[in-house]
């Protein structure tokens, strides 16, 4: 009996142990599931199209910042492409009044007003010094145009003792067929007699100030000269005066950055897109390395001396270790990048926040995506040879992309709208 009792006790003990082990296994597997469930939940959060508020997430899962990352893919939509204006000669820059009236410059010496399918007026600049790359160039409409009727034009002018480049502020009348007032707000920017490397781009930043991209007029000492306005980016108010945040002494108080070759593109990212920088400048390299540079105060490293020695690097780190590297370089050859813009508006979907630069020599558009911090992500080139040389691309108030061709004689302003 005692033996039977012991056997029964042994069996009971083994069964009990088995039940306990099975219980532990079941509990452990449930716990695993429990771990997985919140994981799945947290992975769904970034996919939601909730507006990105600036609240810090409570838990510090490293996946959370991915909601702020930019998708690097650049897949172009089909476009509806129309010629808005034809028969032009080297149109250089385009901008829009608040009522969407289009203004554009032509390098030979004019500013035109285009509305409802036709040019309603063209202003000719008597003092335009139009040679080579110089003439009537950059254009910007004042963000407060509704209040002040100001537009700004950059031109090589014969008003000085020698040809020089000026930013002039024009006050347009309400019929847009007369200039009530012209004030030359930045004068004395150096111009080559032949017009080479004249810059000159003007654009308002998110800060409400006027930014001016200038050229080195093919003189080697200009870009690093702290007093000359050549080979620089300037930042001024609407009277052309210096503002806070520029480099300061020994630099001319209007200079924001220096060491540039020929700044023909300036583009600003609207603050609501969530990028942590102001914008970019674009300049062409000599025989390699066109550059797209983030806007920041300091040296961008071009110093083509003695004479005009174009064999030096666009960003000469051997001379200036602290010079800013370009965000984008064209590499072992140039595309001849000129003006550009940033895609803004819901019609661009996933492409919103993409830089678009026009290429003269390569006759194409270069699309570049950047991270939130302004670092390079990806690029594609498109429309090669389709329009000829492209002077600039500009986003319009209708969210369409406007291109200016630069072939000479029969140029166009082309509108591209995603279908
Ligand atoms: Ca402009
Ligand atoms: Ca550089």
Q: What is the pLDDT of residues 290-300, one digit of tens each?
A: 999 999 999 99
Q: Is the peptide bond before 200 cis (omega within 30 degrees of 0)?
A: yes
Nearest ligand atom owner, CA of 300:
2
Q: What confidence score (pLDDT) does residue 19 get? A: 47
* Cα 357 to averaged position of ligand 1 atoms, centre (Å): 13
The model carries a pTM of 0.84
Reading the block at residue 172, the tokens are 């347009």
Lowest mean pLDDT among 19-28, 43-52, 403-412: 43-52
CA atoms within a 13 Å half-sphere pointing along the CA-CB vector of 158: 11
* Cα 228 to averaged position of ligand 1 atoms, centre (Å): 22
25 falls in which pLDDT band (50, 70, 90)?
A: very low
Nearest ligand atom owner, CA of 317:
2
**Rounded distance, CA 270 to CA 336, Å?**
26
Q: What confidence score (pLDDT) does residue 23 get? A: 44
Q: What confidence score (pLDDT) does residue 69 get? A: 87
Mean per-residue pLDDT of the chain: 89
Nearest ligand atom owner, CA of 216:
2
Q: What is the pLDDT of residues 211-235, one digit of tens each?
A: 999 999 999 999 999 999 999 999 9
* Cα 243 to averaged position of ligand 1 atoms, centre (Å): 20
**Rounded distance, CA 308 to CA 388, Å?**
29
Q: What confidence score (pLDDT) does residue 336 get? A: 98
Higher-pLDDT residue of 155, 30: 155
* Cα 413 to averaged position of ligand 1 atoms, centre (Å): 15
* Cα 106 to averaged position of ligand 1 atoms, centre (Å): 13
**Rounded distance, CA 254 to CA 235, Å?**
6
Q: Which residues contact 187 (CB under 8 A, 6 or more apart)?
A: 159, 160, 164, 166
Q: Is the pLDDT of residue 22 over 80?
A: no
Average pLDDT over residues 170-199: 98
* Cα 58 to averaged position of ligand 1 atoms, centre (Å): 43
Q: What confidence score (pLDDT) does residue 384 get? A: 98
152 falls in which pLDDT band (50, 70, 90)?
A: very high
Average pLDDT over residues 82-110: 98
Q: What confidence score (pLDDT) does residue 14 get? A: 52
Q: What percent of the chain has pLDDT over 70?
A: 84
Q: Are 321 and 374 in contact (CB under 8 A)?
A: no
**For the chain, the helix, strand and coil percentages under 3-state DSSP, each to the nearest 5:** 15, 35, 50
276 falls in which pLDDT band (50, 70, 90)?
A: very high
Region of residue 17 (phi > 0: left; psi between -120 and 50: alpha; otherwise: beta): alpha
CA atoms within a 13 Å half-sphere pointing along the CA-CB vector of 349: 10
* Cα 217 to averaged position of ligand 1 atoms, centre (Å): 20
**What residues does each domain of the chain span?**
92-351
Query: Was domain 92-351 assigned CATH 2.120.10.30?
Result: yes
Average pLDDT over residues 100-111: 98
Nearest partner of 285 among 255, 315, 258, 325, judged by Cα = 315
């Amino acid at each position: 009996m005692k033996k039977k009792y012991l056997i029964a006790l042994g069996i009971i003990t083994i069964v009990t142990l088995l039940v306990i082990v099975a219980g532990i296994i079941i509990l452990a597997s449930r716990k695993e599931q429990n771990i997985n469930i919140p994981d799945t939940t947290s992975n769904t959060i970034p996919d939601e199209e909730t507006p990105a508020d600036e609240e810090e997430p409570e838990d510090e899962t490293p996946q959370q910042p991915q909601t702020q990352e930019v998708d690097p893919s650049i897949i172009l939509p089909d476009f509806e492409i129309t010629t808005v204006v034809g028969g032009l000669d080297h149109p250089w820059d385009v901008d829009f009044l608040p009522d969407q009236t289009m203004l554009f410059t032509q390098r030979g010496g004019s500013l035109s007003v285009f509305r409802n399918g036709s040019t309603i007026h063209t202003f000719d600049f008597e003092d335009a010094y139009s040679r080579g790359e110089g003439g009537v160039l950059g254009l910007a409409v004042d963000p407060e145009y509704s209040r002040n009727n100001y537009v700004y034009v950059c031109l090589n002018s014969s008003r000085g003792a020698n040809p020089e480049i000026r930013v002039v502020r024009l006050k347009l009348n309400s019929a847009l067929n007369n200039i009530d007032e012209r004030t030359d707000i930045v004068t004395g920017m150096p111009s080559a007699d032949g017009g080479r490397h004249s810059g000159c781009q003007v654009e308002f930043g998110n800060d409400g100030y006027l930014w001016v991209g200038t050229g080195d007029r093919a003189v080697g000492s200009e870009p690093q000269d702290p007093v000359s306005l050549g080979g620089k980016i300037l930042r001024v108010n609407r009277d052309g005066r210096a503002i806070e945040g520029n480099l300061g002494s020994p630099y001319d108080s209007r200079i924001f950055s220096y060491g540039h070759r020929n700044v023909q593109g300036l583009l600003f990212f609207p603050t609501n897109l969530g990028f942590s920088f102001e914008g970019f400048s674009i300049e062409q390299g000599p025989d390699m390395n066109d550059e797209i540079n983030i806007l920041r105060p300091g040296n961008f490293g071009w110093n083509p001396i003695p004479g005009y020695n174009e064999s030096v690097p666009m960003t000469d780190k051997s001379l200036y270790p602290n010079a800013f590297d370009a965000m984008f370089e064209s590499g072992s050859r140039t595309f001849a990048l000129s003006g550009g813009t940033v895609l803004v508006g819901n019609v661009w979907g996933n492409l919103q926040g993409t830089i678009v630069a026009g290429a003269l020599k390569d006759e194409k558009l270069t699309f570049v995506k950047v991270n939130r911090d302004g670092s390079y992500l990806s690029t594609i080139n498109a429309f090669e040879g389709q329009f000829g040389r492209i002077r600039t691309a500009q986003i319009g108030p209708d969210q369409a992309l406007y291109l200016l061709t630069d072939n000479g004689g029969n140029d166009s302003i082309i509108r591209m709208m995603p279908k």
